[in-house]
Amino acid sequence: MLQTSESRSRSTALLHDHDWWRQAAVYQIYPRSFADSDANGIGDLAGIIEKVPYLSALGIDAVWLSPFYPSALADGGYDVDDYRDVDPRLGTLAEFDALTAALHDVGIRIIVDIVPNHTSDRHEWFRAALAAGKGSPERGRYLFRDGRGERGELPPSDWTSIFGGSAWEPVGDGQWYLHNFAPEQPDLDWNNPDVRADFLATLRFWADRGVDGFRVDVAHGLAKDLPPEGEPLPTQAELDALPHDGQHPLWDRDDVHDIYAEWRRLFRSYDPPLIGVAEAWVDPDRRARYAGQDGLGQAFSFDLLRADFDPRVFRSVITSNLELAAASGSSTTWVFSNHDVVRHATRYGLPVSGDSERMGREWLLSGGTAPELDAALGLRRARAATLLQLALPGSAYLYQGEELGLHEVPDIPEAARQDPTFFRSRGVELGRDGCRVPLPWTSEGPAFGFGDAAPHLPQPDWFAEYSAEREEGDPSSTLWLYRRALRLRSELRESEQLEWLELGDEVVGFRRPGGWVSVTNFGPQSVPLPDGDILLSSEELPGDGTLPGAATVWLRDPDTGENTRG
């Protein structure tokens, strides 16, 4: 169905640019932790509407909304009860429309999160599957198998879920269902035509309401190839030994792309076409297909997110990602933080271990505000990394609160924790609550301005230092840095070219068309700055022609447009 422009709420400026996403700055909102307008401790859509001026002043191109659908919150909203409604605690469909219109009015697009790998166990399909019993068409939408043992009292296999524990849950009649995540998230069977048709209807539902694209959760997990009922399943060890070459029974199968080819056709039936971005934790060389012409359009690269603050790693990741993007015909994506990982200001303030994500977890496991965290260094590096990110070709995905320089909250009391990874690992993994704590908007007042009730995750006292209100009044704040950078970045839209500069081992420097130069000093010692007019820097510069350690500067080559100097 072709939508007319009039039927979708868009400002004229948003209508004509089909390539807006290629170099967009996309700001992720985790709605339950953004702004609470009705004093129930949970952020909501009306709260986001109130903050549209803030988002507009920030200078982003699009908002990605994490799930806002009805949900028991067994996994922070990624357990969806109804894909075509709004959680009543968060608002109504009318408020969703009002939010879309308010964003579009200020030139910001909206991307919504689609969770197709699993429904929640409260979804009407899953309830029907339980009621209908073994062998029914209703069970055929999920992955039910008989248990082993005389009465089916043992799980069909020893598979483990991503969140820990068995990947199978019994339903009391000898059958079990597969859940690669929490038991409240039964995996769908994408070989079932009902499933395919229903998600196309869901995509149309939101597209017709005016959304500009979709973030596709666990995009590499939908297609599965399990032996038929009655045949033995491989063991977890056998699965682990299999290559991820497109034929693995559970992950990153080649046939998943048939699903996205159909989705892309639907995206292209809208004018302008919609865009999809795949969350696919796959080998970099298998990522291109999710992003390609018959894929969703774009795919997250988590390579920089996993990298230490190391110039060699940054250089090689940037090079390989630009090559992969060019091969797919898409643009690349850069991400440092999201709702699933330790915030990058914190990761970069931890001792180097070679793996930032694990490094963060190790620190969290040690509990509390561990002495080895250098919070100031972490933030300094995060600001330098972000300025580098925003100068690169491709899309930058930013996570709410990083523009305030927020750190992870490690010391949430056990009783307040929500993440199923915490419970299923019996606290061995603290999980992801620490990056989902509601934002501080003010330095004083209830919930630091998040809302009038106690927030659903407790905020630490030090949030006062990072409030949007305080940073608004401080031109050296991280908020001001993001705003200035996002404004300047809009000049880089015209091209996706990048030319490396050789400025020493500890330095990552490159030139973009128009004489734009970005230089990041990863080392501790100052380095000489190349010639150019200074546009912006992540730290105050000493004014002696040098760039201090852990800092980025943007310059404009005086010979603007002449890409001849190295």
- Name the site residues for ligand BGC (rule: CB under 6 A): 75-76, 78, 115, 181, 217-218, 279, 339-340
Residue 553, SS3 per DSSP: strand
Q: How far is the CB of 81 from ligand BGC (least distance, A)?
A: 14
Catalytic entry in 279, 403, 496, 539: 279
Q: How far is the CB of 492 from ligand BGC (least distance, A)?
A: 28
Q: How far is the CB of 495 from ligand BGC (least distance, A)?
A: 32
Strands 109-114 and 333-335: unpaired
Question: How many whole angstroms separate alpha carbon 534 and alpha carbon 36?
Answer: 40
Q: How far is the CB of 283 from ligand BGC (least distance, A)?
A: 17
Question: How many whole angstroms separate alpha carbon 96 and alpha carbon 88?
Answer: 11
The DSSP code sequence of 108-164 is -EEEEEE--SB--TTSHHHHHHHHH-TT-TTGGGB-EEEPBSTTS-B-SS--B-TTS
* Closer residue to ligand BGC in complex, CB, 253/489: 253
Residue 207 · residue 7 · CB < 8 Å: no
Residue 284 · residue 303 · CB < 8 Å: yes
* Closer residue to ligand BGC in complex, CB, 279/539: 279
Cβ count within 10 A of residue 352: 11
The DSSP code sequence of 446-485 is GGGGT-SS--SSPPPGGGGGG-HHHHHT-TTSHHHHHHHH
Residue 63 · residue 31 · CB < 8 Å: no
* Closer residue to ligand BGC in complex, CB, 20/78: 78
Q: How far is the CB of 78 from ligand BGC (least distance, A)?
A: 3
Question: How many whole angstroms separate alpha carbon 492 and alpha carbon 204?
Answer: 33
Catalytic entry in 217, 303, 403, 433: 217
Residue 118 · residue 181 · CB < 8 Å: yes
Q: How far is the CB of 279 from ligand BGC (least distance, A)?
A: 5
* Closer residue to ligand BGC in complex, CB, 278/390: 278
**Three state DSSP letters for 324-380:** HHHHHCCCCEEECCCCCCCCHHHHCCCCCCCCHHHHHHHHHHHCCCCCCCCHHHHHH
Q: How many CA atoms lie within 13 A of 440 on its CB side?
A: 28
Q: How far is the CB of 253 from ligand BGC (least distance, A)?
A: 17
Q: Is position 496 annotated as part of the catalytic site?
A: no
Q: Is position 121 annotated as part of the catalytic site?
A: no
Element spanning 565, H or E: none
Q: How far is the CB of 203 from ligand BGC (least distance, A)?
A: 17
Nearest 10 degrees: Cα torsion 19, 25, 31, 35: -130
Catalytic residue set: 217, 279
